[in-house]
Structures are given as C-alpha cells and as structure tokens.
Chains A and B, each alone.
Chain A
Amino acid sequence: MEYFLKLFLSGTAKGSIYALMALGYTMVYGIIQLINFAHGEIYMIGGFTALILGGVFFSKGMPVGLVLFFSVLLSVMYAAAFGFTVEKIAYRPLRGKPRLSALISAIGVSIVLQNFVLLSQTEKFLPFPSYLPEFSWLQPYKAYINSTQLIILAVTTVIMVLLTLLIKFTRTGKAMRATAQDMHMAQLVGVDVNRVISVTFIMGSALAAIGGVLICSYMGQINYYIGFVAGIKAFVAAVLGGIGSIPGAVLGSFVLGWTESFGTGYISSDYEDAFAFVILIVILLIKPDGILGRTQKQKV
C-alpha cells in the first residue's frame, strides 16, 4: 500500500507537469488547429533562462527567495516573448495555407530553437541547482512525497484554477472561446483574431516555462534537447484528454502520469515511454475523440 501511494503521488506530480505543457498545446490547437512542435522548445528555453538569470542574481548576492521569484518571473516573461515572436514570424504568414505547411514550419522552429540553444549555450547536460525550498515539516512523509513534488502540485493547481477562471469569465477568455469555435464568425462579430492568437501563444508559452523551471528543479538537470521528448509527451496527454479541451488536457496529463508511474513501478522500467503510447492507443480505440473530447458531427 505504501508503495502504491508513493507511485500514485509521483505519478500525480509528473501528471501536473505534463498538464502545464499540455494546456499550452491544447489551447493553441483549439484555436488554430496547429500541432505546435516548438512548444517543447519554449519549455526548454524557460528552464535555461531561469538557470542563467538565477545564476546572475545569485552571484549578485540576492537572498534565495528573491532569486527564485525573479528568475522564475523573468524566465516566464522571456518564454512568453519567445512564443509570441515565433508565432509572428513562423506561423502567421502561413495562416490560411495548407495545414501541413504550418506543421512543417513548427518542426523547423523546433530545430532552430534547439540548435540556437545548443550553439549559444552548451551541448552538455547541466546540473540544475534546486532553488525550491525544502519543507522541514514534510520530513516524516518523505517516503511518499518530497517538497519539490508538493510545490509542483500546488503551483499547478493554482494555475489551473486561474486559467479556468480567466477563460470562463474574462473578455479575453470569451474571445478565445469564440475564436476556437469559429474563427471567421469571431472576426465578423469584432473579435481581433490576431490578438487572440497572440495572447494564446503568450499564455501557453508562459505555462510551458513554469513547467520547464519546475521539472528542471525536479530532475536536477537541463539540456538543449529536453524539450522534444517533453513536447511529445504533452501532446500525447492533450490528445488523450481530447485535444482542444482544457479540462481534458489536465485529465489526460494525470492519466499519463499515473500510467507511467504504475507501469514502471509494477511492470518494467525498460518500457517507461511505451506505457504512455499504449495507454494512448487503448483510450483512443475506446473513445476516438479522447476522454473529454467532443464527438464531432461529420458534415459535408
């Protein structure tokens, strides 16, 4: 039972990180039907920026709490700026063109960003110093959950609540939902579609950066290539829950996290990534539109 609980909690922590990334995927997909392959790279850039800025602040003698706050805040802003710029340069000229073209452009951006970081920084795995505090009161429960996991869970929960509120109740959220439903119609009723898409990219990238910083602290290392695998995983999670649906992305991420955790814990650790794909296949066979995806009516 103890082992089960341990696996369950580590799966939950993993799932909540996937959720941060999957949300960005699903939001972008919901609005422009683009599989944003570069999303994982934004997450990697978020992690790297936090590492660099954290180093600078630390050497200036800032207290740890402030280092954590400012480096995370700034790296989130930078990642959001990257997402915004990438959309403007590589995706906007392709709007209204064949969908596969935008997909290839996204893959191109992914290659460019990876190699940009590789060249401007390093190709080695860098240890990622843990800026996150250790809670002493958590000591007795150490076998089940550590402070990093707890922080990850707390942060993701807060962000998800905020995001849901934002999409449900604000003007921007309304405009986003309208654009996702029908871009032309939204344009006709006066929604600035370009602005909505930019906002979506900014929000998605910011979430990815938070995920990047959290998971780098959790894993304790960073490298220019971490984004690719994470991106694929997040995409799987988003599809699992029903791509385009925000609660679906969260649910899919948790299902993915638990599957991986239990799979490696009870079956075999050789096939960690395979479990993710097997559960994906099984679920899509039962529900072809994902767990919470809406079944789309086929019309001519």
Chain B
Amino acid sequence: MKPRSILTDIGKSLVNAAWFVVLLFPLMVMKVNVSRGIAQVQFRWNLLPIVGIGAFVLSYVWKIALEWNERRGGNNRSGGIFSRTKAVAGAYLAKPAVRTSSYLLLLAFVIAFPFLFGMYHTNVMITAFIYVILALGLNIVVGLGGLLNLGYAAFFGVGAYTYGLMWKYVGPSFVAAGIDTGWLFWISLPLAGIIATLFGILLSLPVLRLRGDYLAIITLAFGEIFRMVMQNSSDFTGGATGISLIPRPWFFGQKLPPIKAATYIYFIAIALVIITIFVVRRIEDSKVGRALEAMREDEVACEAMGIDLVKNKLITFALGAFWAGIAGVLMAAQTTYINPDSFTLWESIIILMAVVIGGTGSIPGAIGGAILLKLLPEYFRALSQYRMLIYGIAMILIIIFKPEGIIPRKRKQYTFDKKEVTR
C-alpha cells in the first residue's frame, strides 16, 4: 500500500465538510415556525461555521478511526501493546485464586452499594438490574435460539400486570382478612413467571411456521396489540391511567420507610439476578441449550439431526418469557405504579439493543449491555436535552467498532490432548 499524503486526506475531509454543510443547511441554519398558516423561517447564520468546522474535524477523525478499525480486524494476533496487556491480564485473571477474589470483591461492592450511595443511585441500580434480567431472558431467545423477538416488552408487561391485577382484585380481600398485602409480591413472583410462560407458549404456537424477520414483525405485532388492549380495557386494567399504589414486598410484617424499602428491593433484585445468571448458564450448557444453538445455526440441518424444532421454539419462547415476567413483578414493586406506556415497542427495542450491544448470545455481554444502556442515560442527565442524541451516536459507534458486541460470545472449544494427536 502506498503511503497517502496528509494533504489528500485533508482535501477529502474538506469535500465531506462541504457536503455536510449543504446537507444540514436547511435543518441547522434555518428554523421554522408556523403562525396563522404561514411558515416563517428564521436564519441562524452563526451555526454555519460550527457545522462546517465540526464536519471537517469529524470526517477526518472518522476516516482515521475506520482505518484503524479495519487494521485491528485484519491482524488480531499482532503483538500490539493493547493486545499484549490484554493477554497478560487474561492469563492473570484465569488463575482461580484471582478470579474468586475478584468475584468476591465485586459482590462486596454490589452489596455495599446502597449503603455507600443514596437512594437515587440505589433506584437507578434496581432499574439496571431489572434490565439485566430482561436482557438475560431475551438473550435466550435471540442469542441462543436465534429468533428475533421485537415484542419482548409484552411479557415484561404480563409480569407487571399480573402483580398489578393481583393487587387490584385480590388485594382488597387480603386487607379484609387482615393479611399483610406485602405477601402479594411473593405470591405474584412465581405466578407472573408462570403466566408469562403460558403467554410465551401461546404466542409461539401460531408463529412456529415463520422464520427470520417475519417472526420479528409478528412478535412486534403481538407486543403492540398487548399494549393497546391494556390501554383500552379501562374497566379491567385501569386503561391508560394504569394501576397505582402497588404494595412493596413483605418484609417480616414491617412498613419500611422509602429508603429502606429501596434497599430491600435492591437486594431482592440482586438475588434474582444471581439466580437468573445461574439458571441461564446451566441452560446454555444443557442439552436444551445445545439444541437451541443448533437451531440458531441452521434449522434444516438441526431438524435432520433429529432435534424437534417445534418443541425447541416453544421452549425458547417460554424460557424467555418467564424471566420477563419475573422482571415485570420486580418493576411493579419498585415503581409501585404501572401503566401501558412502560411496555411500548421502544422498550422491546432497548432490551434488544442491550443484548446485541453486549454481544449476542453472551451472558456477560447481556449483563454489561443492560447496565450500560440503563446507566448511560441516567448519568447523561447533565447533558439534558442532548442526552438522547448522544445516546444514539454512542449506539452507532459501539456497534460499528464492535459489531460482535462489547463482550462477544465465546464459542466453547474442546481441545484434544496434544500428545495423543501428534503421536
């Protein structure tokens, strides 16, 4: 490859900058306002140089970054400083003692978190944990089973509404009988899991014949129909106003003040996250998990190997829905208020983004992705109105530079004993 001169690069960036100035001119420089049926346009010439210079610098940086990215992809095994430190750190972390102690340290930090930081941060972390459970659940469907689901929020909603409706219809008789309403949480938790699972199976029955993006769009349709039904059946579910004053979980019959209640739910969330991680890992390594992976790779070949695709797809949806149901109850208990707006298509998309950005099919990836996607907007609050713009840009950048996700799935590798092979 011949070395390019910096001048041609700068020239190209100038051309790009000119393109962007023209492209963004109507939207950036002009601002429209309509009064009495006539559009009035106000010019903001001061933004023009900003757009030009910004586009020039960014396009130059972008070019270099893309080239760097390609080079990095080309020879991954090169002895760069970065990859060497990574290898050293990896080898160090692989030692059992280091591993265990770092896990313990992490656990200690997680447990100490609500006492170190305030209630606000605890609540943010609870939300993040709810999304971790959701992402892990969706990871079974998308990552393991390879079935794109764009209506996952509906199962989340089924869970939340199970608890909400329990409170609305069973709650009064609990109060009348003098039983602590906090028990409802513990009853709803398994119940929501079961009901969501049933919904998952019900939904997957008609879609078994579909594949790929047809499946995606039909799950999207089911999700939206669920939301609209919740919204419009106001007699049964409270309609758009939703259900409020949902009780917090039972804690030895005590009424906890908000801060303690948040801490309590935080610990329930941690426990549920740990259980989820444990179960999901066991699923991945089980016969079912391997069958699901085979289905993801190739449905026809998988069927030829004697794996029942219908059963597999049912299992995938059922397992995924179960965790969403659990997360829904947790969410209802944390916010004590639910309405259909929490279960929109947008919610499904965010959960899907968490899975893909973390690394489709990878458990640490799903955890990392969910935490990243939920914490970024929280801590971007300082940027107020630019928050979502930066969020979107961050998504694009992450996925372009890490198309496999932040923590990509590692394939299980089975190594032979070298001596035996090279005999």
Q: Is the CB of B298 closer than 8 A to any CB of chain A?
A: yes
The distance from the CB of A97 to the nearest CB of chain B, in whole angstroms, is: 4
A100 to B20, CA, bound (A): 28
Q: Is the CB of B391 closer than 8 A to any CB of chain A?
A: yes
Tell me whether A101 and B23 are in contact in the complex, defined as CB-CB below 8 angstroms, given that A93-B66, A107-B349 are known contacts: no
Considering the complex, give the chain A residue whose CB is closest to the CB of B299: A298
Tell me whether A281 and B300 are in contact in the complex, defined as CB-CB below 8 angstroms, given that A55-B39, A112-B393 are known contacts: no
The segment from B172-180, B216-224, B241-249, B327-335 that touches chain A is B216-224
Q: Is the CB of A122 closer than 8 A to any CB of chain B?
A: yes
A33 to B213, CA, bound (A): 9
The distance from the CB of A199 to the nearest CB of chain B, in whole angstroms, is: 17
Q: Is the CB of B111 closer than 8 A to any CB of chain A?
A: no
Whether the pair A94, B388 counts as a contact (CB closer than 8 A) is: no
Collect the chain A residues with CB atoms within 8 Å of residue B66's CB. 93
Interface size on A, as a range, is 35 or more
Identify the interface centre among B66, B142, B349: most chain A CB within 10 Å of its CB: B349
Q: Is the CB of B232 closer than 8 A to any CB of chain A?
A: yes
The segment from A139-147, A160-168, A284-292 that touches chain B is A284-292
Tell me whether A104 and B225 are in contact in the complex, defined as CB-CB below 8 angstroms, given that A112-B389, A236-B217, A288-B210 are known contacts: no
The segment from B26-34, B184-192, B263-271 that touches chain A is B26-34
Q: 23 pairs across A/B with beta carbons < 8 Å? A: A48-B26, A49-B26, A52-B27, A53-B26, A56-B30, A78-B23, A78-B26, A82-B23, A89-B62, A90-B400, A98-B404, A100-B356, A104-B357, A107-B349, A108-B399, A115-B388, A116-B389, A278-B221, A278-B225, A280-B221, A288-B209, A300-B298, A300-B300
The distance from the CB of B301 to the nearest CB of chain A, in whole angstroms, is: 5
Q: Is the CB of B413 closer than 8 A to any CB of chain A?
A: no
Identify the interface centre among B148, B211, B221, B352: most chain A CB within 10 Å of its CB: B221
Whether the pair B403, A94 counts as a contact (CB closer than 8 A) is: yes
A129 to B38, CA, bound (A): 7
Binary contact track B346-358/A, C-beta < 8 Å → 1, others 0: 0001001100110
Tell me whether A121 and B27 are in contact in the complex, defined as CB-CB below 8 angstroms, given that A100-B142, A109-B392, A112-B396 are known contacts: yes
Collect the chain A residues with CB atoms within 8 Å of residue B109's CB. none
Tell me whether A85 and B23 are in contact in the complex, defined as CB-CB below 8 angstroms, given that A105-B395, A274-B228, A288-B210 are known contacts: yes
A277 to B224, CA, bound (A): 8
In the complex, besides A49-B27, A98-B404, 9 extra interface pairs with C-beta distance below 8 angstroms are A52-B26, A55-B40, A94-B403, A112-B392, A126-B34, A277-B221, A281-B218, A284-B214, A284-B218
Collect the chain A residues with CB atoms within 8 Å of residue B393's CB. 108, 112
Q: Is the CB of B5 closer than 8 A to any CB of chain A?
A: no
Collect the chain A residues with CB atoms within 8 Å of residue B38's CB. 55, 58, 129
Q: Is the CB of A20 closer than 8 A to any CB of chain B?
A: no
Which one, A48, A81, A298, A300, contacts B32 given CB within 8 A?
A: A48
CB neighbors of B among A22-67 (8 A):
29, 33, 35, 45, 48-49, 51-56, 58-59
Whether the pair A122, B33 counts as a contact (CB closer than 8 A) is: yes
Collect the chain B residues with CB atoms within 8 Å of residue A116's CB. 27, 389
The distance from the CB of B410 to the nearest CB of chain A, in whole angstroms, is: 15
Which one, A53, A97, A236, A300, contacts B403 given CB within 8 A?
A: A97
Q: Is the CB of A120 closer than 8 A to any CB of chain B?
A: yes
Collect the chain B residues with CB atoms within 8 Å of residue A115's CB. 386, 388-389, 392
Whether the pair A108, B395 counts as a contact (CB closer than 8 A) is: yes
Whether the pair B403, A284 counts as a contact (CB closer than 8 A) is: no
Whether the pair B396, A55 counts as a contact (CB closer than 8 A) is: no
Binary contact track A234-245/B, C-beta < 8 Å → 1, others 0: 011001000100
Tell me whether A105 and B400 are in contact in the complex, defined as CB-CB below 8 angstroms, given that A52-B32, A55-B40, A129-B34 are known contacts: yes
The distance from the CB of B170 to the nearest CB of chain A, in whole angstroms, is: 28
The distance from the CB of B361 to the nearest CB of chain A, in whole angstroms, is: 10
* Residues in chain B within 8 A of chain A (CB atoms): 19-20, 22-23, 26-28, 30-34, 37-41, 62, 66, 69, 142, 148, 206, 209-211, 213-214, 216-218, 220-222, 224-225, 228-229, 232, 298-301, 304, 345, 349, 352-353, 356-357, 360, 385-386, 388-389, 391-396, 399-400, 403-404
A235 to B217, CA, bound (A): 8
CB neighbors of B among A83-115 (8 A):
85, 89-90, 93-94, 97-98, 100-101, 103-105, 107-112, 114-115
Which one, B20, B39, B214, contacts A54 given CB within 8 A?
A: B39
Considering the complex, give the chain B residue whose CB is closest to the CB of A278: B225
Considering the complex, give the chain B residue whose CB is closest to the CB of A277: B221
Collect the chain A residues with CB atoms within 8 Å of residue B62's CB. 89
Q: Is the CB of A299 closer than 8 A to any CB of chain B?
A: yes
Collect the chain B residues with CB atoms within 8 Å of residue A118's CB. 388
Tell me whether A58 and B39 are in contact in the complex, defined as CB-CB below 8 angstroms, given that A120-B31, A121-B32 are known contacts: yes
Tell me whether A127 and B224 are in contact in the complex, defined as CB-CB below 8 angstroms, given that A112-B392, A112-B393, A232-B345 are known contacts: no
Q: Is the CB of A117 closer than 8 A to any CB of chain B?
A: yes
Whether the pair A126, B224 counts as a contact (CB closer than 8 A) is: no
